[in-house]
């Protein structure tokens, strides 16, 4: 059976609030780690979110 093309990743807040988003990515097309500027409701502002593993 084939492996799925997309994997789930966790986007962790760099504001050290513990908040995170869960999204999917295709590791065959996007080999580098993802990082986005998204809203952190705990810090109440937009901060950088970087990719981490789901445990």
Predicted local confidence at residue 53, as pLDDT:
87
Residue 55 reports pLDDT greater than 80: no
Predicted local confidence at residue 38, as pLDDT:
97
For 38-43, the CB contacts below 8 A with 24+ separation are 38/11, 40/13, 40/15, 42/13, 42/15, 42/17, 42/18, 43/13, 43/15, 43/17, 43/19
CATH of region 7-52: 2.20.28.120
Predicted local confidence at residue 41, as pLDDT:
97
Q: Residue ranges of the domains in the chain?
A: 7-52
pLDDT in tens, 9-54: 999 999 999 999 999 999 999 999 999 999 999 999 999 999 998 8
């Amino acid at each position: 059976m084939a492996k799925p093309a997309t994997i789930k990743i966790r986007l962790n807040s760099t504001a050290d609030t513990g908040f995170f988003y869960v999204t999917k990515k295709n590791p065959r097309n996007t080999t580098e780690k993802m990082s986005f500027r998204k809203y952190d409701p705990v810090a109440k502002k937009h901060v950088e979110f970087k990719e981490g593993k789901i445990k």
